[in-house]
Amino acid sequence: MKTLDDSSEEPFRLRGHRVMPLTEQKIYSYAQGLADKLEWKRNSFNASNIEHTLQTLEVWKINIDVIDDHEWISLTRAIAEPDQLLIRVPNQFYKSLTDGLTENVWIMLHELGHIFLGHRAGMHFADKHPQKQEDSEWQADVFADAIAEYLKLPGNKKQLELKFEENKGQSRT
């Protein structure tokens, strides 16, 4: 008799590009190895050190491009361009980041995830439905959470989303 597979979920919808699949476990161990190699510590991402931490990435040819707020036309708060090892952010975002704003630190880690995981458009094709492990956005989220957890930084994605919701409810301007 044919039985339904209880483990089957609804088809996954990609949020980002379809990339080579990576398990959560693989991303976690990669992120931890990277943090060790770069000698990232908890205080590497606080207000006094984050700017220096990001500058040291220039050794890896990774650059942060800060754009004037009035020239920022994207709806997203930051953009990673893995091909160019570049992360673009508006000035206002960068200022809050270097003030140590938890949300922006997490977003920066997410963008670094795109760079370090080598995400590129159209990297991977398959006939089957995509799985979350192939979604560049899911992978970058896991990377950011992995670093935040390993370094014991405040906040993970789930907590920050709740906070975004609260903020939405509060802002009536």
Contacts to Zn ion by CB under 5 A:
137, 140
- Distance between CA atoms of 80 and 102, rounded to whole angstroms? 19
Classify residue 146 by burial, with Cβ atoms within 10 Å: 0-12, 13-18, 19+.
buried
Q: How far is the CB of 76 from Zn ion (least distance, A)?
A: 8
Please state, as a whole number, how many other Cβ atoms lie within 10 Å of the Cβ of residue 15: 12
Q: How far is the CB of 114 from Zn ion (least distance, A)?
A: 6
Which residue lies nearer to Zn ion by CB, 117 or 140? 140
Which residue lies nearer to Zn ion by CB, 122 or 169? 122
Which residue lies nearer to Zn ion by CB, 105 or 140? 140
Find out whether 155 and 148 touch, Cβ atoms under 8 Å.
yes
Q: How far is the CB of 144 from Zn ion (least distance, A)?
A: 9
Q: How far is the CB of 137 from Zn ion (least distance, A)?
A: 5
Which residue lies nearer to Zn ion by CB, 24 or 137? 137
Residue 141 CB contacts under 8 Å (≥ 6 apart), including other chains: 110, 113, 157
β-sheet bridge partners, residue 52: none
Report which of 127, 159, 157 is spatially closest to residue 141, judged by C-alpha positions. Answer: 157
Which residue lies nearer to Zn ion by CB, 43 or 76? 76
Please state, as a whole number, how many other Cβ atoms lie within 10 Å of the Cβ of residue 144: 26
Q: Which residue is nearest to Zn ion (CB)?
A: 140
Q: How far is the CB of 1 from Zn ion (least distance, A)?
A: 44
